Structure 1
Amino acid sequence: NDPQWVYVANSDSIVRFAYRNGDLKASGDPQTIVDNIPANHHWTRDIAFSPDGKTLYLSVGSGSNVAEDMGKRPRGGLDAWVKSKPLGASWGSEAGRAEVRAFDPDGKNGRVVATGLRNCSGMTVQPATGAPWCVVNERDALGDNVPAEYATSVREGAFYGWPWYYIGNNEDPRHKGERPDLAGKADIPDVLMQAHSAPRNIAF
């Protein structure tokens, strides 16, 4: 292996520094490869590479507990939004959040991998399958034992529920009746954990 870059995930950007074996400090200024990442509230960022090094994954957490300020409908109407955005994509103050994105190593060709992940933390890649995984701290104020936190593989095109549903087809009462089009479409996470236990990392 001959790594050429060190990548750093900032709250609002991904940068990389040129690297040569043996370097103990940066030899030059950082190169910004992804910018304009929403930076408030869940402001920590996780990045991980696919085993072949060709895909850079980025997790961006939500900007709130349960999208209280997002608004009931996106500008231009829900029908137009659904047709032009990934399944379960949020809008307004939550646009571009609660999702996992993927890029080329130089930051180009960005796309959304999955949505509805309130705060995908400790992201890593399962070495046998190459799939990204993370642990998710779910929403508050539904009760001491609801909803479960979870660990899950991040499946291409999947929607994991936030903010309208949780752990499959359980509708959040604070968003009751807002997205009947998403009923039955939220993926169920792989491993459930005690509610409010706040898992922070995952390793294989």
Structure 2
Amino acid sequence: MQERSRRTQAALIRATTELVAEAGYHGATTKAIAERAGVSEGTIYRHFPDKKALFAAAVMAGQRDVTEWMEQLPGRAGSAPVVELLAETLTQLSRLREAVLPLEEASPHVMRPVEDLSREELVDALRSTGGPPLLLADFLAAEQRLGRLRSDLDPARTAVMLLAAFLGVQTSPLAGSKGLDEDDVQLFAELFCAGLVTGRDPAASS
């Protein structure tokens, strides 16, 4: 059953990628995606919480270099100051900027706000998307187990908010045509870490 589910998800992601290339994000309707994948339209929502999550999964599937780097991240928990690891992670995620830009125009109303999702729905959404979002959640959970992050944080929810905030800034006109530079990424990491780490000075957390 799990293998069949993986094959179906892969077919939906492949169909989405093909249709987006042919017709753009707005032209890649869930009906067209389902027909291309050879499944019913309702099948999409058994594997992805909504249309934008499916688009995000397609983006992540096309960014294997970033995903492969992120796969090592949970195992690196505790190996350097939290802010240093986070800044390095955000630098890698900056490479997703060009891929994520079209998502900003891809019917944002189909995505339920994170505060409307239960923890179980959020984790399911992360797992269906896979790649960097889930790996970032795993990294935060590992740091939390080491006592380096606040114990009251929900790693899955925190990962979603971090990614949403960072990619939101990166794709904003305020970031310019090239996005945040290295110094800005470092500043973003320090600001975000100020609310995550157990110590007062995120740059000193180890």
TM-score of the pair, normalised by structure 2: 0.28
The structure in which a higher percent of residues are strand is 1
Q: TM-score, normalised by structure 1?
A: 0.28
Using CA pairs under 8 Å that are at least 6 residues apart, name the structure with larger relative contact order, 1 or 2. Answer: 2
